[in-house]
């Protein structure tokens, strides 16, 4: 079961007030939403994954029936529209994003996110999307693949891996996670470090399949628009690409006089959480507060 990361730090940063509305852009298993509800807040939550929403409807049925929680299966890049449709007259006091995939998605053997086990190379969080990871491997050029592995995964041996992919796809096609794992193992020379050799390529493909960085770019201005004065936006990132977008946008907002970065130092997990949750190792929290006079 997914464990919410930086839970206490995020909830404290949002300064939840009873009866106020909050947005959870990435519901998952509802760890952060549950904490907002426990503090008396009301939540409009998004997830693109039908399984996450179905889980939420059941596990949080009482809150849904009481009108304290609204669950929407939608990409958070439609945030402004979903807010207009569901809580048109409400002020939004805080907004949270806990980017990426949940542990439940990663562990699901059928969805192709993980290099453990064997599955079709799918990797869609939203199964309404038309392009799976195996489709990208089939159509992108060698240069495009190498570039994707380097820019979205930080994989320095991306060129060699892309070369091997193009060779193998001509020979027999690439359909499964284990086929890709074998290709990566064959192409990579540098096996140092604690990461599985396939980690960075899998990350890069997942980010591309789900358009993750584009969604973050698209949602932040919308989030700022719907946020009430003195409201806060909290973003938890797990890799360099996500964090770079958040950091840049927060910096621009601050220099435009829209508000201040609250987290002068990035917030990371403490020893106790790290012992308990491996996923927390790479989590980084940044928080921004909108000025009282900025509407
Ligand atoms: C890291 S998990 C969130 C976990 C959650 N905070 C919790 O404590 O259970 C990220 C979730 O966000 C969803 N997600 C990722 N990108 C999304 C997007 N652009 N729009 C909506 N949901 C998204 C994923 O499907 C996943 O369920």
Per-residue pLDDT of the chain (295 residues; tens, 9 = 90+): 789 999 999 999 999 999 999 999 999 999 999 999 999 999 999 999 999 999 999 999 999 999 999 999 999 999 999 999 999 999 899 999 999 999 999 999 899 999 998 999 999 999 999 999 999 999 999 999 999 999 999 999 999 999 999 999 999 899 999 999 999 999 998 777 778 899 999 999 999 999 999 999 999 999 999 999 999 999 999 999 999 999 999 999 999 999 999 999 999 999 999 999 988 999 999 999 999 988 7
203 lines ligand 1 (CB under 6 A): no
Alpha-carbon distance 187 to 184, whole Å?
A: 5
CA of 83 to the centre of ligand 1 (A): 17
242 lines ligand 1 (CB under 6 A): no
Instruction: Report the pLDDT value the prediction gives residue 294, as an integer from 0 to 100.
Output: 83
Q: Which residue has the tokens 């990132």?
A: 237
3-state secondary structure of 199: helix
CA of 106 to the centre of ligand 1 (A): 12
Neighbours of 58 (CB within 10 A): 9
Instruction: Report the pLDDT value the prediction gives residue 267, as an integer from 0 to 100.
Output: 97
Instruction: Report the pLDDT value the prediction gives residue 2, as an integer from 0 to 100.
Output: 86
216 lines ligand 1 (CB under 6 A): no
pTM score, whole prediction: 0.95
Alpha-carbon distance 169 to 176, whole Å?
A: 12
Q: Which helix (H) or strand (E) holds 82?
A: helix 79-86
Alpha-carbon distance 243 to 233, whole Å?
A: 14
């Amino acid at each position: 079961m997914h464990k919410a990361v930086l839970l206490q730090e995020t909830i404290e940063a949002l300064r939840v007030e009873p009866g106020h509305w909050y947005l959870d852009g990435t519901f998952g298993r509802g760890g952060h939403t549950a904490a907002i509800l426990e503090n008396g807040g009301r939540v409009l939550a998004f997830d693109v994954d039908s399984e996450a929403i179905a889980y939420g409807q059941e596990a949080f049925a009482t809150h849904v029936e009481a009108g304290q929680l609204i669950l929407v299966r939608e990409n958070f890049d439609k945030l402004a529209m979903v807010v207009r449709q569901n809580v048109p007259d409400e002020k939004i006091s805080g907004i949270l994003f806990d980017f990426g995939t949940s542990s439940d998605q990663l562990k699901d053997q059928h969805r192709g996110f993980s290099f453990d086990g064997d599955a079709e190379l799918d990797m869609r969080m939203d199964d309404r999307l038309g392009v799976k990871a195996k489709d990208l491997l089939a159509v992108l050029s060698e240069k495009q693949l190498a570039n994707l592995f380097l820019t979205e995964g930080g994989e320095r041996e991306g060129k060699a891996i892309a070369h091997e992919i193009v060779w193998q796809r001509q020979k027999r096609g690439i359909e499964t996670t284990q086929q890709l794992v074998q290709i990566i193992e064959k192409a990579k020379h540098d096996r140092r470090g604690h990461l599985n050799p396939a980690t960075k390529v899998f990350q890069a493909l997942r980010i591309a399949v789900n358009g993750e960085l584009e969604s973050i770019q698209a949602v932040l201005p919308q989030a700022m628009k719907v946020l009430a004065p003195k409201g806060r936006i909290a973003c938890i990132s797990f890799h360099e690409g996500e964090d770079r977008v958040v950091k840049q946008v927060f910096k621009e907002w601050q220099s435009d006089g829209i508000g201040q970065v609250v987290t002068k130092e990035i917030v990371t997990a403490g020893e106790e959480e790290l012992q308990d949750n491996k996923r927390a190792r790479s989590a980084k929290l940044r928080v921004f507060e909108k000025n009282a006079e900025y509407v």
